Amino acid sequence: MNSWMASSVVVVFLVLVSTALFFFTVTRGALILRGLGAGERGASDHVYPIYSDMRLIKMVDFQPIISAILLFQYDRLVSRIVAELQQLDLGGRDVLITSCAFGNVIPRVVGAAVSRQVRRVHLVDLIRNELVHARSKLGDLAGKVDFRQADATAMHQADGSMAANVMFFLLHELPHDLKGEALKEAARSLEPGGKLLLAEFHRPDSWVLRAFSWTYFKVFEPLGLALWDSHDPLRYLQDLGGFSCTRSTYFFGNFQVIVATRQ
């Protein structure tokens, strides 16, 4: 190996290590430090600084970065949710989005709902900065959206009042006892025939991807692994009853979209 190649390898290695260190620091690392402090658990203790600090939000929220984090499946997953919304007649009905997310999912979902004559879209997040940031991506569509700071486990929507609820990669970040609570709330606010559209990680089919994914979760997002088995959202919804559910998996089983229709 000549010296040019050797230096390139070193540079690529250093970039990868510093990127991993950066993400660890603004996600799990910060939670570990937070956990060392004394005091009672607060409602937003599980939320990474990357979702609460506006400078970090703006630094990270670029479509190529976000797509890469989801192994370039982001567009497919969002497109599936958008396609489901586009099949609904939303005239005079309301749609809920339970938590903001990076990338273009919020503008695409709101755009799809508006194209189906939605009455209002309700965008709910625990963190105010996330709502401010989401609004900045919506342009004129923001006029159709009610932004509300609230907890996914204790929502303000009336029972049976929503035609659809989009939950995009929220569950894997919630403490285990809150995962079921968030699903219960989603179920409560759906009208009969209403759809919960949920995108999440899933246990990969191939052992290579499973090993890679397991390592990723153990290091960065340990609350996500339970979705593979003990806190499978599909099983939770089936146990809750009153839903007919379908699950589609993507990229060798690494991701899932659940469509749960309230009976």
Ligand X SMILES: C[S@@+](CC[C@H](N)C(=O)[O-])C[C@H]1O[C@@H](n2cnc3c(N)ncnc32)[C@H](O)[C@@H]1O
Residues that bind ligand X (CB under 6 A): 47, 51, 66, 99-103, 125-127, 130, 151-153, 168-170, 173-174
Identity of residue 57: I
Give the distance from CA 198 to its chain's centroid: 8
The Cα–Cα gap between 204 and 20 comes to: 22
- Give 157's DSSP letter: S
**Residue 102 vs 217, nearer CB to ligand X:** 102
User: In the numeric block, which tokens belong to residue 28?
Assistant: 């799990």
CB 5 to ligand X: min, Å = 35
77, 199 contact by CB (below 8 A): yes
**Residue 19 vs 244, nearer CB to ligand X:** 19
**Residue 217 vs 263, nearer CB to ligand X:** 217
CB 10 to ligand X: min, Å = 30
3-state helix, strand, coil in the chain (%, to 5): 50, 20, 30
CB 111 to ligand X: min, Å = 17
CB 49 to ligand X: min, Å = 11
**Residue 12 vs 59, nearer CB to ligand X:** 59
Residue 99, sorted as left (phi over 0), alpha (psi -120 to 50) or beta, turns out to be left
**Residue 8 vs 148, nearer CB to ligand X:** 148
Residue 71, sorted as left (phi over 0), alpha (psi -120 to 50) or beta, turns out to be left
End-to-end C-alpha distance for the chain, whole angstroms: 64
CB 19 to ligand X: min, Å = 15
